[in-house]
Amino acid sequence: MAEIKENNQVIVDREVPCTVRDGVKLYANIYRPNDGGIYPILLCRLPYNKNLPDFSHRYIDPIRTAMNGFIVVIQDVRGRFASEGEFMPFEQEAEDGYDTVEWAARLPYSDGNVGMFGLSYYGFTQLYAALEKPPSLKAVFPAMTGSISGEAFSRDGVFNFASAETWILESVAPDYLKRKQDSSEYAETIKVITNDLNKIEKWHDFKPINQWPPVTKHPELRELFRKYLNKVYLTDSLSKGTFTSEELKLPAYHLAGWYDNFLGPTIKNYQDMKKSDHNQKLIIGPWGHGAFNSEIGERSFGITSSGLSIEGKEDITSLHINWFDYWLKQDNTVLPEDDEPIKIFVMGINQWRSEKEWPLKRTNNTPYYFHSNGNANANLDSGTLTTVRPEAEQADQFVYDPESPVPTNGGSVLFYNGKNAGPRDQSEIEQRKDVLVYSSKPINTPIEVTGWVKVVLWAFTDAPDTDFTAKLVDVFPDGTAYNLTDGIVRTSHVSGGNGQENLSGKTVKYEIDLWATSNVFLSGHKIRVEISSSNYPWYDVNPNTGETTLDTSEMVQATQTIVHDSEHPSHLVLPVIPIE
């Protein structure tokens, strides 16, 4: 752990302007040691108000970081709070990021070396700045963030509309409208926004999404919302070419959570960036988005799972201090050989462990096949999960009604005020007729599952377009069923399709990416997978018409058939790790 200097005062310079290439001024707060010294810069660029501690530094203590010999610069991005200009999500962050990095490197108390840190959107600001290759940027620490070539609020063609609606209304709208309205009009506007946020769970039911009243009732927000839904900002932000995180060549420490909505992209950022720069690290805790407590959802993983006491040795601030000490204060070119690049928290046994690579080389990707007599939703013992390949078996069937979707119950979700995230008991949901349940027998010896998880599903539908969902569940001896990870696929976006292909009536092989987990199924537990067609309101419901609820409210029912026989062996693929 980095040593904290005693009796050292910190100066805070507020509202320091940085003028970027088009003359716009971006304002920052700067935390620096009060000793007249020259230090490296740690820069964070965010759209959520640098003056609000819950957002500006959140999980990082800037005072302590400055006391350890850094200049901490926290800046409002263009068009947000104190900074000038128009806010255009993502589109503005590459060039503004470059200019800010080089401005920070020239500050009179800077030694010219700059690192960047931040979570979520301010993880994106690091990656976009790095694309421009500012010469003073030496290392980054992107936490719980998406891929620069991915989509911030969608997954495999399906819209994470509840989080997108929440983000626009809660995080973007207040300051965005304050800048465009006079004080009396805004006073009424903020009352309306507050009232809508208090009822946001009901507002999620409104269709079509592109006419969502909590946003469209404000004329100044309509164009931003339209561009956002249509991914215009993401497209424009990468208009110079097609970029991937593989092109980013600089040391990066990636921070993820097993229940974070950016888990998959964060891990893939690590994998991609490692191809061009081996100086990558990754830590994954049992955390949700921006939440680092030892308790999440309905489970507790022990005090040392917390971001405040990792292994009882360090916290997230000290991870940052140690990382940037290494890359900004010393003339280093490679990670030390004795420093394992990966640290993961293994749930079930609730222990941290260091690893050399991802995926783990000792992984045995093991198929667990679906079996039933055509009644996998009749009761929880009807559908089974074994390592034996199926032969002649009757298919399972259910009716998916988008007017009555399967409710979201935990997972890697991002709802208003962090509601509904993490592991939660799935028992009630598993009683629904539109949820198929396949379970192993109680296991005799523990089974560790660490790595990428997927479901290979053979299915057909009578709808021109529909969704299939899958969820991995750890069933405790008392019947409590905790979700570990989940995924979804839209039939019109299957691999090899053109996005418009009508697969109605065809038996098609789908691969559902459940992202990743690390969990030991203990003796007496069951491994379970749930199959359905909705997870609402985390994902927008598929209306089964060939359209989407982005622009239609018309919905019809679909009959879904899950096939598991010798020619169509539907199965779950688990990355099993030998237990020594």
- Which residues are part of the catalytic machinery? 120, 260, 289
Backbone angles phi, psi at 500, to 5 degrees: -125, 5
Q: How many CB atoms lie within 10 A of CB 513?
A: 18
Of 447, 428, 425, 449, the residue nearest 380 (C-alpha): 428
Phi, psi of 113 (to 5 degrees): -100, 130
**Which residues fall within 8 angstroms of residue 188, CB to CB, at 6 or more apart?**
none
Do the Cβ atoms of 547 and 347 come closer than 8 Å?
Answer: no
Tokens coding 161: 């509309």
The DSSP bridge partners found for residue 485 are 472
Length of the chain: 580
Residue 289: alpha-carbon gap to chain centroid:
7
Q: Residues 25, 26, 28, 34: is their CA dihedral positive or negative?
A: negative
Which residues, 6+ apart, have CB-to-CB distance to 32 below 8 Å?
Answer: 10, 11, 13, 39, 66, 71, 72, 109
In one-letter notation, the amino acid at residue 525 is: H
Using the structure block, give the residue that is written with the tokens 């299957």.
494
Q: Could you tell me the CA-to-CA distances from 415 to 166, 299, 405 in Å, in that order?
A: 7, 18, 17
Residues 6+ apart with CB under 8 A from 191: none
By the 10 Å C-beta count (0-12 exposed, 13-18 middle, 19+ buried), 418 is classed as: middle
Count of C-beta atoms within a 10 Å radius of residue 447? 21
The single residue listed with the structure tokens 């010999």 is: 69
Distance CA 144, CA 257 (A): 7
Q: Report the C-alpha gap between 179 and 193 in whole angstroms.
A: 15
Amino acid 439 reads S
- Three-class SS of residue 10? strand
Distance, in Å, from the CA atom of 45 to the CA atom of 157, rounded to the nearest integer, reads 29
CA 439 to chain CA mean position, Å: 28
- Calpha distance 152→143 (Å, rounded): 14
CA pair distance 9, 466, nearest whole angstrom: 60
